[in-house]
Amino acid sequence: MSQRFSKKRQAIYDCLRGTRAHPSADWIYHRLRPTYPDLSLATVYRNLSQMKSAGMIQSLGVVDGQERFDAIVEPHTHFICTQCSTILDLPP
């Protein structure tokens, strides 16, 4: 990363990079809330939007009512289960 991030922004980015779950903002918020009790869901959404605009992460669109994100920005294919909403990276 070319710029310094706040601790919360870095935690949001690290949380997203540290999972293969393709999480929603809500998932990230609940994962980080115990460590950052003053974190708001609005902060998570704002930071995800800024990271998406900067090309650091990508949006996979809305799955089961929530926008889902991926920290892997290189082109790759996803499988989205219509039964359980799981999103998986498919091998090339």
Helices (H) and strands (E) in the chain, counts: 3, 4
| pTM listed for this prediction | 0.89
pLDDT, tens digit, for every residue of 49-92? Answer: 999 999 999 999 999 999 999 999 999 999 999 999 999 999 87
pLDDT for the residue 1: 44
Burial of residue 26, with CB atoms counted within 10 A of its CB: 0-12 exposed, 13-18 middle, 19 or more buried:
middle
Average pLDDT over residues 22-49: 97
Residue length of the chain = 92
pLDDT for the residue 91: 84
CA atoms within 13 A on the CB side of 44: 25
